[in-house]
Structure 1
Amino acid sequence: MVERSFLTIKFKEMKNIKILYAFFILALAITSCKHDDYFVGGTLHNPKVNMTTYDYLKSNKDQLFDTLLLIVDKTGTKDKINQSGVTFFAPTDYSIKAYLLNKTLEAQRKDPAKRYTIDTLIKYDLSHFTDSINVYIIPSKVEASALNDKGTLFQTAKATVKSVVSYEYTDDVNLGYNPNSANKPQIMYYTFLKKTLTPPIVASEISSADGVRNRVQTSGIETTTGMLHVLENGKPDRTGHILYFSQKRN
């Protein structure tokens, strides 16, 4: 019995060593990856894709952009997001769904039976989208390596709107922070400005009265036509990114 207990202890020790070794190899692999690579769902991806921005969005296996591309097709704005050398901050279908919910709640203040659907948007709101999609486009290449945590001011493709893009350190464990690591992860943020701000600007200190700040959930995708970053999903509680940089309405 003593010998069996001893062997059991040794087996557990060896098992723990193997687990620690596996974590070490994983950590080594991650830290040795090129800075330009990016993660989606825990899988490492090459940032360069051999297709246009539109085609890359269309090829998404989770169909995150089907409604977005339906609106793009209906408004004839495909060429805008496929312009050579531009950066597109793409909203997902979840952001469109959050917008439709906002509009529904607004309409129901007058008539509880009202609903604002994608068909409603296509019928009445296409001209608004045709113009507003320009605020998602920056007519230059925006890469994380050229950004800082304070933020860089950019002119969008809409002449009257500027934005701030920042690359900030985070200590949020939900965003990849590990208190046992000496290195903090960095997250890209896109802030839509409601008014002109005078530098110096600190992105994290821009108030909700001055701008709408959204996290970028996937960044650094280089297509054959330009750069693509994906804004965070709109959530059921209507936080996250809402189409047109709308804000939650009660």
Structure 2
Amino acid sequence: MKNIRNIISGMLALLFVTTILGSCQTDDYLVDGGKSNPYYDGTIMEYLESRDDMLFSDLVKVIKMTKWYDVFSDENADVTFFAPTDFSIDKSVDMLNYYLYNWNNMEKITDLSQVKSEVWEDMIGMYVLKGKYRLNDIAQIDTVALSTFPGQTNYTYDKKYKLTMGVCYGDANGIKYAGYRQIMCANQDYGISIYAYVSSCNIEPRNGIVHVLRLDHSLGFTPYALYSKAMEAGIDYPDDTWQGGVPLTGKREDSNNMLIINKESNE
């Protein structure tokens, strides 16, 4: 599954670039560019499950382990979901496995269910807001002029996190803020703002709004978040798997891999 995702990631990235430049300029654009009806005749959960392009297959598996399955299936939910793709989950799981194997002397996970359901529930909760927020409902943000255009900050659905969201206005023909518009969101719980950009916006199932995050986003807003939360909760290994747990004094893999991980984490 992951190899197939790597093959199509370039194609999807190209499609999302098109979407970034055009999908959020009006209310009637749907995913992957192309003007279309933004409404989906079903729930948020049904929308995620309906996608056959492997953007949300792992996301759906994760959601089904948590209370968010019931929320997203509720016809009266009235929520906004900044949906991370499977690529976001892959990035964070890769970081989790790297640190498990190299720094904790523990086996890598081979199934998403080995991460406890409360960890997935907590992390998905970072992206869920009560109420429907379409592009036109969100305040302008300019990350280099936050005193003037700060966006807006809301508590997440379960009031556990603060999520800042805003609409970035591009320039056009030398006129500031006259160009395309793009939604972004930021987590405020790490001491600094970590931004995530939306590639497809204003998708509207019956019970809420979905904004799809860009492929380069890491679940939890930083690749380290899943590792930290999963280790704190404990990993569910099969009974016949040795868990280890004693930190190694050295690394099992070459330093080049660590440099790659660090570069991705910094970005």
Q: Mark yes or no: TM-score above 0.5.
A: yes
Q: Secondary structure at the match of 1:135?
A: helix
Give, in whole Å, the separation in 1 of the partners of 2:133 and 2:153: 11
- Displacement after TM superposition at 1:44 (Å): 1.3
* Deviation sequence 1:203-248 (CA, Å, 0-9, x none): xxxxxx4222100111101111111111111xxxxxx211122246
- Displacement after TM superposition at 1:63 (Å): 2.2
Check conservation: 1:36, 1:47, Cα contact below 8 A: yes
Summarize the alignment of residues 23-62 of structure 1 with structure 2, pairs less than 5 Å apart: 35-62=26-53
Query: Would you say 1:63 and 2:54 are equivalent positions?
Result: yes
User: What one-letter code is carried by the residue in structure 1 that aligns with 2:41?
Assistant: N
> Quick one: structure 1 residues 122 and 56, their matched pair in 2 at CA, closer, same or farther if it must change by over 3 Å?
same
Structure-2 residue corresponding to 1:244:
220
- Displacement after TM superposition at 1:71 (Å): 1.4
Structure-2 residue corresponding to 1:185:
180
User: What one-letter code is carried by the residue in structure 1 that aligns with 2:128?
Assistant: I
| Residue from 198, 201, 224 that aligns with 1:219 | 201
Q: How many residues align?
A: 193
Give, in whole Å, the separation in 1 of the partners of 2:70 and 2:106: 38
| Residue from 89, 95, 107 that aligns with 2:82 | 89
Structure 2: gaps spanning 5 or more residues? 1-21, 142-148, 225-260, 263-267
Give, in whole Å, the separation in 1 of the partners of 2:34 and 2:196: 23
Give, in whole Å, the separation in 2 of the partners of 1:82 and 1:211: 31
- Displacement after TM superposition at 1:53 (Å): 0.6
* Deviation sequence 1:49-70 (CA, Å, 0-9, x none): 1111111111113121011111
Q: Secondary structure at the match of 1:35?
A: coil
User: What one-letter code is carried by the residue in structure 2 that aligns with 1:48?
Assistant: Y
Give, in whole Å, the separation in 1 of the partners of 2:33 and 2:157: 33
| RCO comparison, higher one (Cα < 8 Å, 6+) | 2
TM-score normalised by the chain length of structure 1: 0.68
Query: Would you say 1:140 and 2:131 are equivalent positions?
Result: yes
| Residue from 189, 192, 204 that aligns with 1:194 | 189
What's the Cα RMSD here? Answer: 2.9
Q: Secondary structure at the match of 2:184?
A: strand
